[in-house]
Amino acid sequence: MHGTAQMAAAPRLSDPFWRFARELLRYRALSAMAAVFVVLSGATLSAGLLGAMPVFEAVLGKRQHLGDLALRFNHAIDSKAPWASFLTVPERVISALPKDPFVSLTWIMVGLCALTIFGTVCNYMHAYLSITIVNRVVTNVRRRAFHTALRAPLWAVLRNGTAEPISRIVNDSTQLANGLTVLMSKAVLQVFKGIAAAAVAFALDWRVAAAALTVAPLIYTVIRKLGKRIRRAAGAALQSQSELYATAAESLQGLRVVKVHTAERFEGGRFHRTNKRMLGELNRVRSARALASPLTEALSIFLLCGLVLVAGRAILAGRVDPGTFILALSALGVAGASLKPLTSIVNDIQATHPAARRLRELLDSPQEPGHGMRLPRLARHRESIELDRVTVAYPGADRPALRDVSLRIAHGERVAIVGGNGSGKTTLLGLVPRLYDPTFGRVLIDGRDIRDVSVRSLREQIGVVTQETVLFRTTIRANIAYGMPSATEARVLDAARRARAHEFIVKLPQGYETPVAESGGSLSGGQRQRLAIARAILRDPAILILDEATSMVDAESEAGISAALAEFAAGRTTLIVAHRLSTILTCDSIIVLDDGEIADRGTHEELLVRCEPYRALARHQFAGPGS
């Protein structure tokens, strides 16, 4: 009976685990079917306990047969009751029952086997339906968590890294699935079977059954204390697991750098230290888990010994029937056996709570502004891009990335943005597609604040090529058409040709259907950059953002790609960050950023005359034309 106390306390529905558990009830039909099979399984157990033992006693002790037992059953029924006719065994059935006691015993065994098979089928169907519900719930949670991570503010992802949300989406959702499976397919079934057996014990001798419950508060206290330890240690283990994932991913993604700097031993030591911290937390969980079951078993044995002593005295005094006591004790034993797994079940659920909390934190995390809001679409850009007294301060930063920046860029203008490291170039470019929102000020496109229009309509008309090319594990064709799955074959080929990528693509073994390795590892840096340019060209954007777009291209190819970009940029507003003077000279104007502020704006010749920060950049940072 020790497991009964563990379930006595009602769970706090505000707890993240139980909030996820409530989602199981969304699948009402499957939950109802699972509940039916639980009831049938418990009823099967009760029938076996209540019916089999008295029948055995009658057949083996009094040498009665099934016909005698049926007659005794009919006599025991009140003939005046309205339901008596439905329960009375008909005479023709009684006459057909076997008269030999051994044959009767054989039929009883067959009946018990049939009851066992039925109960087994019920248990299987309950587990099958329960796991189906859990899988659907966790799949939905994992989908929502991933969508939440995709819509997180970019600054938060850059600050915290990607390993943490990935760990929560993959590892924590698996942990949640384990806990919900234990709850749905094991805890419910074991509790119901334990209650059914305990009900039989109460029916046989309520005093013995009530005495067994006296130990429940003590066992509840023990399990609660151990459960808290398991929950805390499991939470720390999950945090260590996230750090372990981040360490491994960082080392393997930067394997080229690790090898050329002969830092394998350093990275191995870093991983080992994180791994040992995780081992320590797992061992804390182990200790609490290992103590729970033996402790509850010991308490149960102490209870049994006390019951036997008390009942033995009553039996010797003639106040209790020995047979009834043995049957009640047997029923309690069955109840205890059914509830015994609850010790480990409760521990498993406790270990799941930290994972549920981390998932709930992710699902409740702030989202990128603009998503989920019904806002008007932004018409295709035709007039200007304007920053009106914009200040951007990242959370936790000691100074703003941009301070009181105001500028206006006319439609079709080609503008270069230059400055030293940390001057705010990337932040300024990120404001246009609303990757960041200004802390103060406004970003206007054609006179409309971009916070007042839908994010999708804004970004659909922006093409971006960055220095860090991102390719996905799919075909070259799909990478070019990324974000535009409806693009026709002709448009994909045209974009590739204009980006000077078609020539190398057709030489690959499978052409445009060639799979791309993770992070584009199967292609050279210049090839990856051309695919990124083709992707931007395919979008036919009104605004083109080029952040070191030709930095990974060899000198021979740069002239051709630059010419293609110049041709493509015609009639589009183009914002360019570049360190090559040949690229800067093609722009209509140059904006010089210095420590988050606009130092000056003008042409190359004008800035060389009057802008000292620009002269310093020209001397030390810009490569010469044609280089």
What amino acid occupies position 517? A
Does any domain span residue 518? no
Q: How many CA atoms lie within 13 A of 298 on its CB side?
A: 7
Q: Count H helices, E strands: the chain?
A: 28, 10
Closest CA to 231 of 78, 15, 76: 15
Question: Exposure string (b/e) for 20-29, b if CB count within 10 Å is 16 or more?
Answer: bbebbeebee
Does any domain span residue 90? no
Overall pTM surpassing 0.75 (yes/no): no
Does any domain span residue 118? yes
Tokens of 272: 């080992």
Strand partners, 598: 593
Strand partners, 575: 415, 545
Give me the CATH number covering residue 165.
1.20.1560.10
Does any domain span residue 78? no
Does any domain span residue 593? no
Does any domain span residue 130? yes
Task: Return the pLDDT at 389.
Answer: 93
Closest CA to 183 of 219, 225, 228, 138: 138
C-alpha span between 273 and 83 (Å, rounded): 73
Number of domains in the chain: 1
Task: Return the pLDDT at 575.
Answer: 92
Task: Return the pLDDT at 381.
Answer: 92
Residues of the chain with confidence (pLDDT) below 50: 1-13, 59, 76-81, 83-84, 624-627
Angle between helices 216-253 and 264-316 (to 10 degrees): 170
Task: Return the pLDDT at 10.
Answer: 41
Task: Return the pLDDT at 155.
Answer: 75
C-alpha span between 625 and 422 (Å, rounded): 25
Does any domain span residue 116? yes
Does any domain span residue 542? no
**Domain span including residue 182:** 2-65+100-363
Task: Return the pLDDT at 390.
Answer: 92
Q: What is the DSSP string of 303-342?
A: HHHHHHHHHHHHHHTTSS-HHHHHHHHHHHHHHHHHHTTH
Task: Return the pLDDT at 469.
Answer: 78
